[in-house]
Copies of this chain bind each other. A is one copy, B any other.
Amino acid sequence: MLQEALKIISLPDLRKSLESDEIGEQIYKLITDLYPICRSITGDGVRETFKIIKNHIPLKVHEVSTGTEVFDWEVPKEWNIKDAYIKNSKGERIVDFQKSNLHVVNYSVAVNKVVPWEELKSHLFTLPDYPDRIPYRTSYYKESWGFCLSHNQLLAMQDAEYEVCIDSTLEPGYLSYGEYYLEGESQDEILISCHTCHPSLCNDNLSGIALATILAKYLSEVSSRRYSYRFIFIPGTIGSITWLALNEERVDRIKHGLVLTGVGDRGNFTYKKSRRGNAEIDRAVIHVLKHSGQEHQVIDFFPYGYDERQYCSPGFNLPVGCFMRSSHGQYSEYHTSADNLSFVQPQYLGESFSNCLSALYVLENNRTYLNQNPKCEPRLGKRGLYRQVGGHAEEQVDELALLWVLNLTDGEHTLLDIAERSQFSFDAIEKAANALAKHDLLKVKPE
Chain A residues proximal to chain B, CB less than 8 Å: 70-73, 105, 137-139, 141-142, 144, 146, 237, 240-241, 244-245, 248, 275, 302-304, 309-310, 312-317, 371, 373-379, 381-382, 388-389, 400, 403-404, 406-410, 422
**Complex formed: what's the CA distance from A188 to B304 in Å?**
38
Indicate how many identical chains form the complex.
Answer: 3
Q: Are B313 and A377 in contact (CB under 8 A)?
A: yes
Interface residue SS majority, chain A:
loop
Chain B residues with CB under 8 Å of A138's CB are: 389
Q: Are B374 and A315 in contact (CB under 8 A)?
A: yes
Q: Are B407 and A376 in contact (CB under 8 A)?
A: no
Chain B residues with CB under 8 Å of A379's CB are: 72-73, 141
Q: Are A376 and B303 in contact (CB under 8 A)?
A: no
Chain B residues with CB under 8 Å of A315's CB are: 371, 373-376
Q: Are B312 and A407 in contact (CB under 8 A)?
A: yes
Q: Are B72 and A241 in contact (CB under 8 A)?
A: no
Min distance, Cβ A36 to any Cβ of chain B, angstroms: 25
Q: Given that A303-B403, A304-B403, A310-B376 are contacting pairs, would A137 and B389 also be in contact in the complex, using a CB cutoff of 8 Å?
A: yes
Chain B residues with CB under 8 Å of A374's CB are: 313-315
Q: Given that A303-B404, A406-B303 are contacting pairs, would A375 and B142 also be in contact in the complex, using a CB cutoff of 8 Å?
A: no
List 19 other contacts, CB 8 Å, given A237-B377, A313-B377, A315-B376.
A71-B375, A71-B376, A72-B377, A72-B378, A72-B379, A138-B389, A139-B389, A141-B382, A142-B388, A240-B376, A244-B376, A304-B400, A304-B403, A309-B377, A309-B407, A312-B407, A314-B407, A315-B371, A315-B375
Q: Are A407 and B313 in contact (CB under 8 A)?
A: yes
**Complex formed: what's the CA distance from A314 to B382 in Å?**
21
Min distance, Cβ A375 to any Cβ of chain B, angstroms: 3
Nearest to A405 among chain B residues (CB) is B303
**Complex formed: what's the CA distance from A142 to B304 in Å?**
63
Nearest to A307 among chain B residues (CB) is B376
Q: Are A313 and B375 in contact (CB under 8 A)?
A: yes
Q: Are A141 and B410 in contact (CB under 8 A)?
A: no
The 8 listed contacts between A and B (C-beta, < 8 Å) are: A72-B373, A139-B389, A144-B389, A302-B400, A303-B404, A313-B407, A314-B406, A315-B371
Min distance, Cβ A368 to any Cβ of chain B, angstroms: 13
**Complex formed: what's the CA distance from A72 to B408 in Å?**
18
